[in-house]
Amino acid sequence: MAALAFVFPGQGSQLVGMGRSVYESSPAARAVFEEADRVLGYPLTRICFEGPEERLNDTTVAQPAVLTTSIALFEAMVEAVSQRFGRRATDGSEPRGVLALPEPLRPAFVAGHSLGEFTALVIAGVLPFSDALRLVAQRGELAATRGAKGAMAAIIGMSASEVERVIRSTVEEGRVVVANDNAPAQVTIAGDGEGIALVAAALEAGGAKKVVPLRISAPFHFPAMGRIGEDLRAFMRTLRFREPVVPIVANVSGLPHPNVSAIPDALVRHLSQRVEWLKSVRYMVERGAGTFVEFGGGPVVNSLVKRIADVKLVNVTDHASISGAIASLKAKAAAVTAR
């Protein structure tokens, strides 16, 4: 039976209204949103559900919003599994995350795209939700106040190496980089605003099918963003990181974090180095992952996965999709029932 991989979207996936249906239908999801409001000290829930869009798209809000929505959807599915099979998902001693699921429904790998890696840390038991929330809020605040200024854009129809050639021939070194290698013919670029505009025009003239500006207010995975790295590292020293209970495939390497002590350094490098999503998905597939379950406001990450590998895709995006997700995992769910 093919192994599961749980994946989580990053900044840019936010949409006004995300999470509302699980908030209204699931006590577990509602508790996640209420915890986020308490920890952050402002009404994140209302912004997620009602906007305004400009506020939700701001880095300082978008990062906690994306994390909170994914965790709420995951907790709602854990709750549904517990109700479906008439059993407690956890006795209360286990951390939130994959250990709260029956063993047949636990993933072999977890991975998050860009900001989604912080969600993966929670799901793998490395950080409690409240600590991860504070961490991404700090990351967003540092990026907005002291980080690099600029823009990002998605490029459809060209490989990372092709995009890099256009960048080199268009702007000075360091102004624009490939920030995400997302799929064989889809990448994201990051850089200063003028540089992005110049490269975007050159890419469109050079054969790119589409250039799509991203709804973000700061360029991540861009060398200049590394200036906030030491401040982020200092904040992480106030947190307790635990060993992951399931392998977390890291963005910066496309390989699992070797141990918990390597994670803070990887998260610092994550600010300025490329997201190796193409490599990450191939790693998981080569090691048996045949079903990818995405928890987020829309099928953003799985839309990339389907460009990389012929695997089963399951999307948990709202209340209605949770039952469908469990049904689509019927063989594994049957193993739960048989116990």
- Radius of gyration from C-alpha coordinates of the chain: 19
- What DSSP character marks residue 238? T
Residue in the block written with tokens 């928890």 = 295
Of 13, 26, 70, 114, which residue is the catalytic one? 114
Q: Is the Cα torsion angle 204, 272, 309, 333 positive or negative in sign? A: negative
Residue type, 66: V
Given the residues 13, 26, 221, 319, select the one marked as catalytic: 221
The token pair that represents 75 in the structure block: 């907790």
Cα 279 from Cα 284, distance rounded (Å): 9
The Cα–Cα gap between 33 and 72 comes to 7
Residue 115 near residue 218 (C-beta atoms within 8 A): no
Identify the DSSP state of 16: T
Give, for 315, the enclosing helix (H) or strand (E). strand 312-316
Residue corresponding to tokens 């402002």: 42
- What's the rounded Cα separation, in Å, for the pair 309 and 281? 8
Q: What is residue 184's DSSP assignment?
A: T
Residue tagged 């577990």 (tokens) = 28
DSSP annotation of 192? -
The answer to whether residues 11 and 136 touch, using CB atoms and an 8 Å cutoff, is no
CB of 18 closer than 8 Å to CB of 69: yes
Q: Contact 33/72 with Cβ under 8 angstroms?
A: yes
Is 21 among the residues known to form the active site?
Answer: no
Q: Which letter does DSSP use for residue 249 in this model? A: B
| Cα distance between residue 177 and residue 292, in whole Å | 29
Q: Is 114 a catalytic residue?
A: yes
Residues designated as active site: 114, 221
